[in-house]
């Protein structure tokens, strides 16, 4: 939709064919009995991406279409040893003080020094990974730009951290800080044992630019983008699955739908995984970077009793062992005790009244396929596991529950078409290019890819940037080099 709105403003006649009955893809919602929940992402980072989209496509700014709220705190972190760290939102000094309070004097300074190196990584990769089309030769992006500290080892010379787990162990040096860093990787569907050190940009982005919430839920952001598309003349056809790209004389000439009908076009933009349509990925990017990405297991809880004043919007209850959790998630089995994220928005729009509360509990899990997430018994047992872990953040959670709704990678696969219900991670430099995504320009000529499965990867900010890149390529041609 981000690409469609920009293309419509540029004078193109745009039609969006959507396989489901609604817009928004994985940015979905669920409502029942006056309770409302996000079924996709629940918080927004780098809202400047969507501010830019609304500025470039109409007179009303983003804030005139949705109400953005910045919670006082980024998150409350609850660690396996019982320590807690309430991190303020977008306050480097506040984070330093909070970490010193949780782990002792000096812990905050270690984290701040790490974020400084992460900031250097962001400065080196921001433009090539977010603001420019992927180059035909992406090899330079395969080198890790993180300025890792050199670690002297007796009789073995010096070594530098190559993975995020090594950054945590060698540079942070405090188990709680390492667990905090591992949690950021897992939240984005990355294995800290293999994620490059450049993944340090993920906590940097959150703690530098802040965490935001859309009043009424992020589904309202999807609705606002949809309404902006419609206002610019974009036509939507729902329940219309695209089966293939029609090619003529070496160029994309339209799409063929699953019902056998076809539609002609001068250019085709696909927001699906690379293996979902029979078209080549084009130069640059790894077409199969994550054959089956991890998914999300989510429990939507309708609770009796109001939300206590001062409650953190987001709480992360860390697993006892990030190593064991990662081994399960990336080994194709349910983690015995996963890291759990609890969202408790202070928002009258998502609850029937002040005497009730809508709470979302979620964990990153192995995709559907290696694990049969349609198994009723497994779904119930694992929901109980998440709720039990979340009780550290919401006392009396089980007793307060009126009803719950369980969503797994099986639902994600059915609703979005993503294989295994996987959720794509952001593109990252380093790791030999393994975590780059396929280029936005693909073959045949005139075929483009947008969304989380293409450059620059998954997440709402990255998806918005992919729309801007594709629109620039369609309008300006292969010479487009990104926004200035």
Helix (H, G, I), strand (E, B) or coil at 53: helix
Check pLDDT > 60 for residue 285.
Answer: no
Strands 356-365 and 340-343: antiparallel
- Note the pLDDT of residue 279: 54
pLDDT digits (tens, 9 = 90+) for 14-67: 999 999 999 999 999 999 999 999 999 999 999 999 999 999 999 999 999 999
Judge whether 187 and 343 are in contact, CB under 8 Å: no
Judge whether 39 and 201 are in contact, CB under 8 Å: no
The Cα–Cα gap between 313 and 263 comes to 45
pLDDT-derived band at 126 (thresholds 50, 70, 90) equals very high
* 282 or 51, which is more confident: 51
Q: Which residues pair with 68 in a beta bridge?
A: 214
State residue 332 phi and psi, 5-degree precision.
90, 35
Q: How far apart are the first and last CA of the chain?
A: 22
Work out the number of other CB atoms within 10 angstroms of the CB of residue 39. Answer: 24
pLDDT-derived band at 273 (thresholds 50, 70, 90) equals confident
The Cα–Cα gap between 170 and 150 comes to 9
DSSP letter string over 261-329? Answer: -EEE-S-EEE-S-GGGSSS---SSS-TTSSTT--EEEEEEEEEESPPPTT--SEEEE--S-HHHHHHHH
Judge whether 235 and 14 are in contact, CB under 8 Å: yes
- Note the pLDDT of residue 283: 44
In 139-281, alpha helices (H): 164-166, 175-187, 201-209, 219-231
pLDDT-derived band at 151 (thresholds 50, 70, 90) equals confident
Check pLDDT > 70 for residue 335.
Answer: yes
- Note the pLDDT of residue 230: 98
Is the omega angle on the peptide bond into residue 456 within 30 degrees of 0, that is, cis? yes
pLDDT digits (tens, 9 = 90+) for 60-110: 999 999 999 999 999 999 999 999 999 999 999 999 999 999 999 999 999
Q: Where are the domains of the chain?
A: 2-30+43-70+215-288+436-476, 93-209, 291-423
Check pLDDT > 70 for residue 156.
Answer: no
- Note the pLDDT of residue 416: 87
The Cα–Cα gap between 62 and 341 comes to 27
Residue whose tokens read 């800080």 = 177
Percentage of residues in the chain having pLDDT higher than 70: 95
CA 11 to chain CA centroid, nearest Å: 31
Fill in the DSSP letter of residue 401: E
Mean pLDDT for all residues in the chain: 93
Strands 235-238 and 15-18: parallel
Residue whose tokens read 């830019």 = 52
DSSP letter string over 94-123? Answer: HHHHHHHHHH-TTHHHHHHHHHHHHHHHHH
Least confident of 219-223, 318-322, 331-335, 390-394: 390-394
Range list of β-strands (E), 421-461: 441-442, 447-449
Judge whether 219 and 27 are in contact, CB under 8 Å: yes
Judge whether 44 and 91 are in contact, CB under 8 Å: no
Helix (H, G, I), strand (E, B) or coil at 204: helix
Least confident of 419-428, 439-448, 475-484: 475-484
The Cα–Cα gap between 21 and 355 comes to 33
Least confident of 9-23, 94-108, 139-153, 337-351: 139-153
Architecture of domain 2-30+43-70+215-288+436-476: 3-Layer(bba) Sandwich (3.50)
Fill in the DSSP letter of residue 251: E
pLDDT digits (tens, 9 = 90+) for 218-269: 999 999 999 999 999 999 999 999 999 999 999 999 999 999 999 999 999 9
State residue 148 phi and psi, 5-degree precision.
-65, 145
Is the omega angle on the peptide bond into residue 444 within 30 degrees of 0, that is, cis? yes
- Note the pLDDT of residue 484: 53
């Amino acid at each position: 939709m981000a690409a469609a709105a920009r293309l419509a403003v540029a004078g193109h006649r745009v039609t969006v064919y959507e396989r489901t009955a609604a817009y928004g893809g994985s940015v979905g919602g669920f409502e029942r009995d006056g309770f409302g929940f996000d079924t996709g992402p629940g918080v927004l980072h780098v809202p400047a991406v969507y501010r830019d989209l609304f500025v470039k496509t109409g007179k009303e700014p983003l804030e005139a279409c949705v109400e953005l709220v910045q919670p006082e705190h980024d998150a409350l972190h609850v660690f396996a040893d019982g320590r807690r760290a309430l991190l303020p939102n977008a306050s480097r000094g506040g984070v330093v003080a909070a970490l010193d309070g949780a782990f002792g004097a000096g812990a905050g300074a270690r984290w701040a020094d790490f974020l400084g190196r992460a900031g250097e990584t962001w400065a080196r990769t921001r433009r090539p990974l977010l603001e420019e089309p992927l180059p035909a030769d992406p090899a330079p992006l395969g080198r890790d730009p993180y300025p890792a500290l050199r670690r002297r080892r007796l009789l073995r010379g010096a070594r530098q951290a190559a993975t995020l787990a090594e950054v945590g162990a060698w540079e942070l040096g405090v188990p709680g800080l390492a667990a905090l860093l591992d949690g950021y990787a897992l939240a984005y569907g990355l294995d800290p044992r293999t994620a490059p050190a450049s993944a340090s940009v993920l906590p940097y982005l959150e703690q530098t630019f802040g965490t935001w919430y859309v009043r009424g839920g992020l589904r309202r952001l999807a609705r606002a983008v949809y309404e902006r598309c419609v206002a610019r003349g974009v036509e939507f056809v729902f329940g219309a699955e695209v089966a293939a790209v029609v090619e003529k004389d070496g160029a994309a000439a339209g799409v063929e739908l699953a019902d056998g009908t076809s539609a002609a076009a001068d250019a085709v933009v696909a927001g699906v995984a690379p293996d979902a349509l029979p078209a080549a990925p084009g130069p640059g990017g790894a077409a199969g970077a994550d054959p089956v990405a991890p998914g999300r297991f989510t429990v939507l809880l309708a609770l009796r009793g109001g939300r206590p004043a001062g409650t953190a919007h987001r709480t992360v209850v860390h697993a006892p062992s990030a190593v064991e959790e990662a081994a399960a998630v990336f080994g194709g089995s349910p983690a015995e005790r996963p890291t759990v994220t609890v969202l408790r928005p202070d928002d009258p729009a998502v609850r029937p009244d002040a005497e009730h509360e809508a709470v979302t509990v979620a964990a990153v899990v192995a995709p559907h396929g290696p694990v049969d997430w349609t198994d009723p018994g497994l779904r119930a047992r694992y929901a109980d596991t998440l709720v039990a872990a979340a009780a550290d953040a919401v006392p009396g959670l089980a007793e307060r529950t009126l009803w719950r709704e369980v969503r797994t990678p099986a639902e994600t696969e059915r609703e979005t078409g993503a294989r295994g219900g996987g959720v794509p991670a952001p593109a990252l430099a380093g790791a030999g290019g393994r975590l780059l995504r396929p280029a936005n320009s693909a073959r045949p000529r005139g075929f483009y890819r947008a969304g989380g499965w293409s450059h620059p990867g998954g997440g709402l900010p990255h998806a918005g940037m992919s729309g801007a890149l594709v629109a620039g390529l369609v309008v300006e041609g292969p010479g487009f080099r990104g926004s200035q």
